[in-house]
Structure 1
Amino acid sequence: MKEIQEIVAAYQQHQNKGLKTALATVVHVEGSSYRRPGARMLVAEDGTLTGAISGGCLEGDALRKARMAMVQGEPSLVKYDTMDDDDSKLGVGLGCNGIIHILIEPIDSTDPYNPLVLLQHIVSQRRSAVVVTLFSMQERRGPQPGTLLLLTEDGLRMGAVQTTALEEQIIQHAQEALLNEAFSFRRYISAQELTGFIEFLPPTLSLVICGAGNDVMPLVNMAALLGWHTAVVDGRANYATAERFPLANKVLVSKPDQVLENVQVDQRTAFLLVTHNYNYDLAMLRNVLPLQLKYIGVLGPKTKLNRIILELEEEGSSLSEMQLQSIYGPTGLDIGAETSEEIALSILAEIKAVFSNRTGGYLRERKESIHADSAFDQPEAFLK
């Protein structure tokens, strides 16, 4: 999501300067590639690039083709076969060993539903969304419909499809993607045979950090680097200040019982209890456990967490197995962290692993492809 945020911001800057732009999107991959479907790069006519579609091997050629698309005013589908003798030079040493299909769309700023308008809406609203992109691999030189529809979890629909019958199919598949929280590839027959990339885009991760000590500063700074939304909460007014946490989205002075009234919480929200204050952490855990969150991190030794849980149970709270599984204490992955920066790294890595349903182990010990459980390695299996 951070990449989309940066692309949207860059697009606005280019608009202010009157520059033409084009959007390059990885829409299909066969075999191995550095980036997966959904990777995007915004190209401005002055050569400015925002985002990435590879590890650096394809950007130069894509820039040339994007400029051509701006002149012609039509989307084009570009195929890079890094297993081919000629194209393989593009991917040497950069993790490319497959066939990569990139859709390049010149952006018409007068179109109320152009791809950047759809992406702008996604980043402006904290809602899960599905973006539908249509392209034809069978008729590469024919019309490429491109990014044309947005559907959000609250039912908002933006964009238009060629025909009513085709639109009904696409909307059904987009609704299924929202329900399953997963992407899919679909095959459609209209005036031409089309492949649909039905892309599920969840909101960016939101991190509520209870505690405003010096050790929280690298947490906020690193989370901002990842594009996460951060809120810092503390009961001490001289600690919880915007001057101390300039990269936080919100800084709040609050007692534990008032925190939830002042922060937005959803299923993409993680809580961190790092106040170094036992009573504050106890009160916050009491308040957030009923929310059934995926991640609640508690800083400090295991004995501290056990004592908090025991106290909650003595109060009469019956903690379910699901609630207990959502508590990570001591918070963070076991990487031998000592400094506040290293601890921040271990905590954020653990949160990312939890929300990605990964264990945080060594990649070299994986038996499957890195992306195997995302199903991106076998997109043909999803064409229906």
Structure 2
Amino acid sequence: MLNLFSALETFQVDQDYVLATVIQTQGSTYRKAGTLMLLDSALNYFGLISGGCLEGDIQEHTKAVLKEKSDKLIHYDMRGEEDLIWGMGLGCDGAIDLLLKYLPANEGHFQFFDILKSIQQGTQHVLSLSLSPPFEFSFNRIHPDNTNQTSVKLTDSTIEIPLKPPLRILVCGASPDVPPVAGLAKQLGWQTTIIDHRPDFIQPGNFPMADKVTLVKRNQWDNFDLTNFDAAIIMTHQFERDEEYLKRLLTTDLNYIGLLGPVARRDKLLANIGTTFANHEGRVFGPVGLDIGADSPETIALAIISEIQAVKAQKSVGFCYQDENR
């Protein structure tokens, strides 16, 4: 999904597009049902259905869809001898059913790009797609208080695909080790806001990969809007300021608050606020990051971004805070 947002940068209102959707899979496949890939009239594609094995063939089928102005179902079977029939020799041991949906410019692309822009700005929708001709195509906006549908729903007649906005990350502190964090988040399609109270630190030119860089003075922090963020990382390297950031972040609904520094520093911060780590374990992550042996700004950034991904995906992994020697 995140790869599709880059299509907005080159979107041409008078150009036809094709949306490739994985309807269902069997066996071992690179992507699963609900995966989307968008192709323009020049056959440039955004997103991947496979690891590059099928994309060339999908482009060829897309040519026919654009020429005939009609949808097309494709079946790929990479299991055993069937794979050799395709001449691909992929050895993936799986099968994929794929729908190429024609998005004509004269029909407003069935609102696909309007919805895509809305999702990029923070709304969540569900794409409903009929599995029989004429492959009817519709969107339903999900209210922020009712975002329970997190997985694809497949029936004999339809597939429903949740379309989620990119994660929005708040970095509290414009220190020199922040750019790698913003850079990795950008590659994932996440949106990063960096704030700091020090005017000399908060220069947009220092953070070219951040979406927003904002000066937030100490007296402005209590009124700074935190409702649109999915995760926060505290990395000012200033104890007093970290305490101010942490104190307010603990009052929010954020389920990920990353805290740079060792266990002793974390516990002292929480004690000053009047609480303990035991009250916030699984929500406050300090020392921040996955335990991957990070020892540089770049590897620490990798550990942090990986940890956010793991928490949001509800995966059990090795967190740094679980290491008693830190």
Q: 1:290 to 1:90 in 2, by over 3 A?
A: farther
Distance in 2 (alpha carbons) for counterparts of 1:357 and 1:90: 39
Instruction: Please give the per-residue CA displacement for 1:271-323, whole angstroms capped at 9, x wherever unaligned.
Output: 1010001111111111011113110000001000100111111xxxx669663
1:91 Cα shift? 5.7
What SS does the aligned partner of 2:227 have? Answer: coil
In structure 2, the residue matched to 1:33 is 29
What SS does the aligned partner of 2:247 have? Answer: helix
The amino acid across from 1:179 in the alignment is: N
What SS does the aligned partner of 2:5 have? Answer: helix
- Count how many residue pairs are aligned between Structure 1 and Structure 2: 317
Q: Does 1:131 align with 2:120?
A: no
1:210 Cα shift? 0.6
Distance in 2 (alpha carbons) for counterparts of 1:299 and 1:121: 34
1:71 Cα shift? 1.3
In structure 2, the residue matched to 1:284 is 245
Q: 1:283 to 1:7 in 2, by over 3 A?
A: same
In structure 2, the residue matched to 1:213 is 175
1:355 Cα shift? 0.4
Q: Does 1:184 align with 2:153?
A: yes
Of 244, 268, 273, 2:234 maps to: 273
Instruction: Please give the per-residue CA displacement for 1:339-375, whole angstroms capped at 9, x wherever unaligned.
Output: 10000000100010000000236xxxxxxxxxxxxxx
Matches within 5 A, 1:1-384: 1-10=1-10, 12=11, 15=12, 19-83=15-79, 85-88=81-84, 92-93=89-90, 96-112=92-108, 114=110, 116-117=112-113, 119-136=115-132, 143-146=133-136, 148-154=137-143, 178-187=147-156, 194=157, 196-256=158-218, 258-259=220-221, 261-266=223-228, 269-313=230-274, 323-360=280-317
Instruction: Please give the per-residue CA displacement for 1:64-118, whole angstroms capped at 9, x wherever unaligned.
Output: 1111011111111111111152435566457x32110111012211214626335
Instruction: Please give the per-residue CA displacement for 1:20-56, whole angstroms capped at 9, x wherever unaligned.
Output: 3322121211111111223222223333222211111
Consecutive unaligned residues in structure 2, runs of 5 or more: 319-326
The amino acid across from 1:35 in the alignment is: R
Q: Answer whether contact 1:129 1:153 (CA < 8 A) is retained.
A: yes
Q: 1:131 to 1:256 in 2, by over 3 A?
A: farther
Distance in 1 (alpha carbons) for counterparts of 2:238 and 2:63: 57
TM-score, normalised via structure 1 length: 0.76
Consecutive unaligned residues in structure 1, runs of 5 or more: 137-142, 156-174, 188-193, 362-384
Q: 1:323 to 1:153 in 2, by over 3 A?
A: farther
TM-score, normalised via structure 2 length: 0.88
Q: Answer whether contact 1:212 1:234 (CA < 8 A) is retained.
A: yes
Query: Identity over the aligned pairs, expressed in percent?
Result: 28
Q: 1:91 to 1:237 in 2, by over 3 A?
A: farther
Distance in 1 (alpha carbons) for counterparts of 2:30 and 2:280: 37
